[in-house]
Amino acid sequence: MNQHEEMEFSNPSVAAENLPDYCNVGFESLAPTFRRYTLVSTLAFAVPVVAAALVLWALPFIPLAGWKILLIATALSIPLLLVGIFRWIDAGYRGWALRRHDIIARSGVVWRSVTALPVARIQHVETTHGPLERANGLARLKLYTAGGLTADLVVIGLDRDVADQLREYLVEQIRKRDADDSQTSDD
């Protein structure tokens, strides 16, 4: 590829301070309903536990006293509650930003990471939403590059309209790029 590139364009070196800095970008926070969604979707896992406890409580021939069953069910639900709280906090640290040439996502409470994906490398864009996400008006944006089997970057907790707009915008960028490519046809 190097030789091709040498022929195609000249690219003078750029001093580090003149490079566009991804750190200066202002991150958009996620949709306000995302926090509610994280809590509800985590607590949804507690429903079967509570239901089982109630059924056991109602059955007359179970030798355990009623309050013990409730205690066990509560004990089982505590880790879920902690996970829910963690995800609530985590939602505050997530964010995304769209620049002209790339899309950047931020996540993590303890181990924080910033991921940048050049728009020129995106092969395929997809938005998905589960039933709970739909109920909260949310969607997730999945971005695929060449070579990978799974999505390379997933931005969760977007407002559904925003996700659709982003998808349309990125698809348009890919279409333009491919049209340019077939004109200069080198690959």
Partner 1 sequence: MTEIESTWKALPVSAVGALYINGIQRFVRENLFVFFGAGTGFAVSESLGWREFGLGAGLVLLVGLLVAMIYHRRFRYCVDEDSVRVRKGLFEQQELKVRFERVQNVGFSQPIYLRPLGLVRVTLETPGASQTEVSLPGIASTEATVLRDTISGAAGRENGPERPVDSGDLAQAHPQPSAAFSTSAADLFKYGMASNQIWILLAIFGAPASNWVESRVSTWVDQLSASGIVDMEMLSSAPIVLALLVVVLILSLSLVLMALSGVLAIVRFSGYRLIRETDRFKSRFGLLDVREKSLKLAKLHGIETVQTGIGRMLGQWHAIGHQAGAVQLEQAMNDDRRFLIPGIGDARLESVVDTLRGRSWDVPAWSGIHPRFRSMLWGRISLVLAVAALLLWFSLPGRVVWPPLAILGINILILALIHLRWRRWAYASDGRRMRIRSGSIGQKIVEFDLASCQQVEITTSPYQRRHMLASLAIRLPHGEQAIPYLPRAIADEIANRLLYRAESSAKHGL
Considering the rule CB under 8 A, would residue 179 count as an interface residue with partner 1? no
Give CA–CA dist 124/163, Å, rounded. 14
Considering the rule CB under 8 A, would residue 153 count as an interface residue with partner 1? yes
Q: How many CA atoms lie within 13 A of 162 on its CB side?
A: 18
- When binding is defined by CB under 8 A, the residue of 44, 58, 101, 176 that contacts partner 1 is 101
* Residue of 148, 152, 96 lying closest to 126 (CA atoms): 152
Considering the rule CB under 8 A, would residue 58 count as an interface residue with partner 1? no
What is the nearest approach in angstroms of partner 1 to the Cβ of residue 153? 7
Give CA–CA dist 113/23, Å, rounded. 12
Contact present, 43 and 84 (Cβ < 8 Å) = yes
- Nearest to partner 1 of 87, 124 (CB atom): 124
What is the nearest approach in angstroms of partner 1 to the Cβ of residue 141? 15
Give CA–CA dist 10/126, Å, rounded. 35
Which helix H or strand E contains 158, and what residues bound it? strand 153-159
- 106: region left, alpha or beta (phi > 0 left; psi from -120 to 50 alpha): beta
Which range, of 26-34, 54-62, 102-110, 134-142, touches partner 1 by CB under 8 A?
102-110
Give CA–CA dist 187/1, Å, rounded. 10
Considering the rule CB under 8 A, would residue 118 count as an interface residue with partner 1? yes
Considering the rule CB under 8 A, would residue 147 count as an interface residue with partner 1? yes
- When binding is defined by CB under 8 A, the residue of 56, 72, 116, 151 that contacts partner 1 is 116
Give CA–CA dist 115/106, Å, rounded. 6
- When binding is defined by CB under 8 A, the residue of 114, 132, 151, 154 that contacts partner 1 is 114
- Nearest to partner 1 of 81, 114 (CB atom): 114
Q: Could you list the residues that contact partner 1 (CB under 8 A)?
A: 1-5, 8-9, 11, 13-14, 16, 19-23, 101-102, 108, 110-121, 123, 145-149, 152-153, 177, 180-181, 184-187
